[in-house]
Every structure is written in structure tokens, then in C-alpha cells.
Amino acid sequence: MVAGVSYGQAPIYTDSLQLQLSRSKGFEEQTKILWEIADVYRQSNFKKSLEYASKSLETAKKTQDHELMAKSYKKIGDILFKAGLYQRAVENFLKSKSLFEEYKLGRPLIGVTHNIGGVYYRLLDYEQALEYFNESLGLCFDLQNAGDTLLNHQLHTIYNSIGSLYGEKGENKTAVSYFEKALATALKQKDYRQLGVIYNNLGKQAQILGNNDAALDYLHLSLQSREKINDEHGIAKSYLFISEYYWQLGELEKALESSEKALLYAQRVGGLFELRGAYSMLYEVNKAMQNNVEALDAHEFYFLYTDSLFNESAVSNITKLQMEYEYNKKEKDRLEEAQRVRMVYYFVLVLLLLALVIVALLYALLKIRSRKNLLAKENLEKNLEIKDKELATNVLYLIKKNELISGISNRLMDLKANLKSENKEPLQQIIFDLTLNMDKDVWEEFEMRFQQIHSEFYKNLQEKYPDLTPSEKKLAAFLRLNMTTKDIASITGQSPRSLEVARYRLRKKLGIESREINLINFLSSI
């Protein structure tokens, strides 16, 4: 039963869960509520517990969530395992394990692997059981090494199972060492369910090793741990161990009382394993007390439940299931590998076909694009040629304009010599203004039109040669249009000698060392 829920409280708790279930909307939420209801009934009503666990699997399948499906299979397996229906339990455990492995869900894989080992332990196949216990322990350590710190519960459960196995093999000291490891982690976690199991096992080993007082203390600690969480399966087992303890000491009345309590709890939970153990003790105790009728009745029930638990068919079927699981796993891996190979072949074939289609399309597109690019290039060159001519015409106009202004300035300068002194200063100011406006107007007009045609030239020049002065950028623009030194001098008002010096400095800043490199061609490539 769920921890903290007593036998009497179970109906109230299940009603609350049923209400939550009716109000829930998503399949995932419904699946988890169905798990809780199954857990509530697990200790008291096997059929109802199994019914709700089966519903949880149906609901989980609707979500297509493989983890939910795997956990639902495990939940069904746990219930069947508790009831002693080992063949059906293993069927569900193996389905769960397969899903956990396929989708690499490490932590829950530990639990289901351990539970399969538990089935083999109950069937007395200790070698196979130990193999699964060690596999689950290895998985636990792998996750811990990877940084998972939430595995203590699984760790002490596995230690306890390995200890029980060594106890059955008669290796009692080894068994005690594993039980003590389990006890240390279980006490830290306050896991009363597992503490009940571990204390029982320590009590059994203490009695075998001749320490009867310690044995009884351990058995009572086990019973107290289980009573704290209303673990009726566990309480039945505790009374069973206490009964065996008193029987071995010859205290038959106490043994009979404890075995009857064990039977009462076993009947309430419907556990085949617990019922078999209780009837076995009742047989032994009644036989020792010479209660022959009671002993005979108990003996008959003991064999009935023994046949239910341990028949050759069940063991054979479980072995067959294990072989089928391993075969299916290998076959699945083989089929997946073959499928991967086929997919690679198909992928390569499709790629080749696509490549051929793409090549054909590219060839056709390239022809069309080449034709378009040729036409576009011709149009661009024509447009650029027209614009350059327009710009050249405009430059010539500016040159003529400047020549006119220069001529007027020179004529005014000639007149200046014949003027009276009071008129010379105003005339000089007129000459100065004409010269100043000539330089400014010419450059601004030229720069605006130049950028309209060669918009990227200044940007590229600035990115590649950020140290150029504004005057050097102007000179580069004039040279880009293949203008002569005379024309540039006319626009800028500089002397041809000054422009030659400026050209030399520009070559150095542009990094042109060789005289064979033409400055105008170099600027045209920017």
C-alpha cells in the first residue's frame, strides 16, 4: 500500500484518486493517477491492483510516450511478482526492460533488471539471479559515475538482494556484509519498506550464526518498520520469520501465534509466496505440538501453493521467455542494421538521381543565366559608358566655366593696376570671391555626379586605404575617370607640377612600388 495510507484509509484515498482521474485531461496525467490507484490496492486487493495497472498501460499507449509505457509494464510486473505469478511477471518485466534499453532510460532500467533477478531468485535459479543483480548494480554505478546522486534507494535494494542470494547459498558472512551495506543506505533514506526486508534478513543470519538475542531484535525492528508504512505483505513475512525463530527454539506456542498472524496477513493480501510460507510453518508447528489434524490441513495447503509457485512448466516458460527476449533483441539489432544499410543504399541512389536532375537543371539555368548576364553586362557597359560620357561632358563644362572665371579674374587683375587705390581693395575682394567659389562649386558638383555613377568607389577606397586625405581621395576620383593632368589642374586650380607630386604620394600610399603598374588601371580595379 502507498506509504502513509492505512488499510482503513484506502477507500477514502482511492475515492480521492478516482475524482482526480475523472477531472484529468491529459493521458500522461491519467496514467500516473492509475499507477497510484494500483499501488493503493496492491497490498489489499490483487485483482483491482492489476486491473488499474493494466488500464495505465492502455492509457500510456495513447500518449506514444515510451517511458510511460515501459513503467506501466513494470508496474504490472511488480504486482504479478508480489502475487507469485512469475511467468506473467517476467513477460511484463522483459517488455519494460526492452523499452528502457531501446530509449536509453538508465535509472528505471536498474529497477526492472533487478526485478527479473528477483524472479529467478524466487525460482531458486541463483546463478541467473546473481547475473541480473550484478547487472543492475553495474548500471547503478555507471549512473553514479556519470553524476546521478539519486540512486541510493536502488543501491540498498540491490545490496539486500545479493545478500539474500548468498544467504541461500550458505555463504553467511558474505550475506551479512551485503546486508550491512544495504542497511547503511536504507537508514539514510528512511526507507522503511526496505528496512523491514533488511532487518528480517539480518535476523535470519544472526540466528544461523548462533546469536539468538540479536536475531530477535532484528526481527522486531523489521516488524516495526513495516507497521510504520502498513506494508501488509512485509508484516506477513515478519511474522513468518518470528514464527520460524520461536519454532527453532522450541517455543511452540509463540511460534503458533506468529504463524497464525502471518497467515492472516497473507490471506488479506493474497500473496502466494506468503501463503505458502505461512502454511509451511503452521504444518511444522502443529506437527511438533502433535496437532495432527491441523498439521495435515496445513500440509495440504502448503503443497497446493507450492505447486502454484514452482511447477516445471512455469520455470520452463520463463526460460523460454528469456531466450525469446535475447533472440528478439539480437534480431531487432540485425534488422535495424540491415534497415540502416538499405536506407544508405536508397539514400545514395536518390542522391545520384537528384544530382543528375540538378546537373541538368543547372546546365539549363546556366545557359539562360549566361545569356541574361551577357545582355545585362552589355546594358551595364552601355549605361556606364553613357554616364561616363555625361560626366566627362559635365567636367568639360566645369573646366570651361573655370577657364571663363579665370579669364575674368585675370582681366580684372589687369584693370586693377590702372585703378585708384581706394578702388583696388574692393576689386581684389571680387577676384578672391570668384576664385573661392570656383573651387568649391566645381568639386561639389563633380563629387555628387561621380558618386551617382561609381557609388562603391569611395567606400572600397576608404575600407582598403583609410589613411588617405580628402585631397588624395579627390585626385583618385579624377584619375578613375582617366582625366589628364591639365583637366585636373583646371578643375582644382593646382599647377601641373603640384599634381605630379600629388600623384607620386598617392602611389606610395596605395602601396604601388613598381613603375610598371599603371595608377589609373589600378584605381579602376578598386
- pLDDT at 345 (0 to 100): 84
- Mean pLDDT calculated for residue range 459-469: 90
Give the pLDDT confidence score for residue 11 in this predicted structure. Answer: 67
Residue 509 forms part of a structural domain = yes
Q: Which pLDDT value is given to residue 436?
A: 73
User: Band of the pLDDT at 441, cuts 50, 70, 90?
Assistant: low
Residue in the block written with cell 518470528:
242
Cβ neighbours for 509, distance < 8 A, ≥ 6 positions apart: 465, 467, 468, 472
Compute the distance between CA of residue 324 and CA of residue 97 in angstroms, rounded to an integer: 13
> Residue 177: inside a domain, yes or no?
no
Consecutive H or E run containing 355:
helix 312-416
Residue 333 or 321, more confident? 333
| Spatial CB neighbours of 258, under 8 Å, sequence gap ≥ 6 | 239, 240, 242, 243, 246, 281
Q: Which pLDDT score, from 0 to 100, does residue 451 have?
A: 76
**Residue 509 contacts residue 468 (beta carbons within 8 Å):** yes
The DSSP result for 27-61, as a single string, is: HHHHHHHHHHHHHHHHTT-HHHHHHHHHHHHHHHH
Tens digit of each residue's pLDDT (9 = 90 or more) over 134-180: 999 999 999 888 887 666 668 999 999 999 999 999 999 999 999 99
| Nearest to 71, CA basis, from 85, 82, 57 | 57
> According to the model, what pLDDT value does residue 312 have?
44
C-beta of residue 56 within 8 angstroms of C-beta of residue 38: yes
Contacts 24+ apart (CB under 8 A), 88-93: 89/115, 89/119, 90/116, 90/119, 90/318, 90/321, 90/322, 91/321, 93/119
Quick check: 145 and 159 in contact, CB under 8 A?
no
Closest CA to 445 of 393, 506, 484, 409: 393
Instruction: For residue 219, name the pLDDT band (cuts at 50, 70, 90).
Output: very high
pLDDT band at 329 (very low <50, low <70, confident <90, very high): low
Q: Is residue 225's pLDDT more than 60? A: yes
Q: What DSSP designation does 310 have?
A: S
Q: Which residue has the higher pLDDT, 419 or 185?
A: 185
Over the stretch 411-440, which tens digit does the pLDDT of each residue have?
Answer: 888 888 777 778 888 888 888 887 776 655
| Helical residues (DSSP H) of 417-469, grouped into ranges | 421-453, 455-464
Please give the pLDDT value at position 281. 92
Here the CATH number for the domain that contains residue 498 is 1.10.10.10
pLDDT digits (tens, 9 = 90+) for 169-183: 999 999 999 999 999
pLDDT in tens, 67-108: 999 999 999 999 989 888 888 899 999 999 999 998 888 889
Q: Is residue 295 part of a domain?
A: yes
Q: For cell 600610399, what's the residue? A: 509
Sign of CA dihedral 293, 298, 304, 306: negative
Classify residue 513 by burial, with Cβ atoms within 10 Å: 0-12, 13-18, 19+.
exposed
CB 229 within 8 A of CB 214: no
What confidence score (pLDDT) does residue 344 get? 86
Domain limits for position 520:
456-526
Residue environment code for 331-341, b if the CB has 16+ CB neighbours within 10 A, otherwise e = eeeeeeeeeee
Reported as a single tens digit per residue, the pLDDT across 351-403 is 899 889 989 888 888 888 888 878 877 777 677 667 766 776 777 677 777 77
Give domain status of residue 331, yes or no: no
Quickly count: other Cβ atoms within 10 Å of residue 4's Cβ.
10
> Residues 215-242: what's their mean pLDDT?
94
Q: Is it the case that residue 496 has pLDDT exceeding 70?
A: yes
The number of distinct structural domains making up the chain is: 2
Q: How far apart are CA 74 and CA 76, in angstroms?
A: 5
Q: Distance (Å, rounded) from C-alpha 448 to C-alpha 455?
A: 10
Residue pair 480/523 in contact by the 8 Å Cβ criterion: yes
User: Residue 68 contacts by C-beta under 8 Å, 6 or more apart in sequence?
Assistant: 28, 31, 60
For the chain, give percent helix, strand, coil, nearest 5: 85, 0, 15
Among 243, 278, 304, the domain boundary falls at 304
Query: Is residue 328 scored above 70 in pLDDT?
Result: no
**What would the pLDDT profile of 20-34 be if each residue is shown by its tens digit?**
888 888 999 999 999
Confirm if 195 and 225 have CB atoms less than 8 A apart: yes
**Which has the higher per-residue pLDDT, 154 or 65?**
65
Q: Which of 247, 276, 304 is the last residue of a domain?
A: 304
Residue 292 to residues 272, 303, 328, 446: CA-CA distances in angstroms? 24, 16, 52, 129
What local confidence, expressed as pLDDT, does residue 442 receive? 60
Q: Are 109 and 139 spatial neighbours (Cβ–Cβ below 8 Å)?
A: yes
Residue 484 lies in a domain: yes
Nearest to 39 by CA among 30, 26, 48: 48
Kindly state the average pLDDT of the residues 491-512: 88
Question: Does the residue 398 lie in any domain?
Answer: no
Q: Which position has the grid cell 523489521?
A: 222
Is 513 domain-assigned?
Answer: yes
Q: Residue 86's closest CA among 120, 52, 114, 57? A: 120
pLDDT band at 331 (very low <50, low <70, confident <90, very high): low
Average the pLDDT over 215-244 and give the result: 94
From 244, 275, 304, the end of a domain falls on: 304
DSSP string, 85-134: -HHHHHHHHHHHHHHHHHTT-HHHHHHHHHHHHHHHHHTT-HHHHHHHHH
Residue 282 is part of a domain; what is its CATH number?
1.25.40.10
pLDDT of residue 522 exceeding 50: yes
**pLDDT in the model for residue 55:** 93
- The string of DSSP codes covering 282-293 is HHHHHHHTT-HH
Domain membership flag for residue 481 = yes
* CB neighbour list of residue 310: distance below 8 Å, 6 or more residues apart: 123, 124
